[in-house]
Amino acid sequence: MTLSVLTIAGSDSGGGAGIQADLKTFAAHRVHGLSAIAALTAQNTRGVTGVAVTDPAFIAEQVDACFADFEVRAVKLGMLANAEVIHAVSDALERQHPVPVVVDPVMVATSGAALLDPDAVGALRDRLLPMAAVLTPNVPEAEVLLARHIIDHEDVLEASRALIARGCRGVLLKGGHLRGDGPVVDLLALPGGRTERFEHPRLAVRAHGTGCTLASAIAANLALGHSLAAACARGTDYVHRALLQGYRPGRSDITVLDHFAAGR
């Protein structure tokens, strides 16, 4: 039976992020992509103009349908919008056999549009962090989760360890938002104080869908049997290659990742 990876996230009508980016990433890794659509967004490379949240019971029904028929080897969580959706997804996953769950704590779109209700942060902390084989926040998301500022690489290390203390089995804190002209350093923190660094040259592009793609690439590599550290290394490499080959399909200056160039 062909192994599958499930994304539970929002749909991006512009095709650059969300469910669309997740399925492209799975295809590039040659795993079968499944999806449970947790929200619909009206968006393009210029911004988000509307959001319609899927009924939580129907999200759970999508999840149950996928697990009933497919060999789901990993799950990626993206935009879950509100506390009711987070609880429904958590309950649905707890009914299934344990699989690695990659949690991308989507809160704000590249354009600045809010994608998570502020009162849902507590549900995200309480339900999703203990479920995460790895949490993949950027710096602003980690700041919200921890209610603290993150300025430099020492802050990144302390924040990663604080998130581990909240129940995650791994935290990949992405360094792209840190100020400076040096390389981008993504830090993987693991229980017991272990850490690994993944470093790539900083690219002068404004990109869309990098967080979704990274979490999906990690999930695909976990499904393929790689260790968490190897999956994160391969995932960060994949995003860098996709950015190098990125293109601008819209009328803004936002770059969309080229998944199939990266997959080759």
With contact defined as beta carbons under 8 Å apart, do 163 and 129 qualify?
A: yes
pLDDT at 214 over 80: yes
Domains identified in the chain, total number: 1
What pLDDT band is residue 112 in, cutting at 50, 70 and 90? Answer: low
For residues 90 and 209, give the distance between their C-alpha atoms in angstroms, rounded to a whole number.
Answer: 24
pTM for this entry: 0.96
Tokens of 178: 């840190």
CATH number at residue 242: 3.40.1190.20
For residues 26 and 259, give the distance between their C-alpha atoms in angstroms, rounded to a whole number.
Answer: 9
Residue type, 217: A
Strand partners, 48: 43
Percent with pLDDT over 70 in the chain? 98
What pLDDT band is residue 182 in, cutting at 50, 70 and 90? Answer: confident
Characterize 198-225 residue by residue with b for buried, 16 or more Cβ atoms within 10 angstroms of its Cβ, and e for exposed.
Answer: bebeeeeeebbbbbbbbbbbbbbbbbbe
Name the residue with tokens 């272990």.
194
Segment 233-256 shows an average pLDDT of: 96
Tokens of 10: 């929002």
Distance of CA 42 to the CA centre of its chain: 20
Segment 144-158 shows an average pLDDT of: 91
pLDDT at 128 over 70: yes
Segment 173-191 shows an average pLDDT of: 87
Name the E strands within 121-194: 134-135, 171-173, 184-189
With contact defined as beta carbons under 8 Å apart, do 80 and 106 qualify?
A: yes
pLDDT at 199 over 80: yes
Of 1-10, 106-115, 185-194, 237-246, which gets the smallest average pLDDT?
Answer: 106-115
The domain in which residue 22 lies consists of 3-263
pLDDT, tens only, 45-95: 999 999 999 999 999 999 999 999 999 999 999 999 999 999 999 999 999
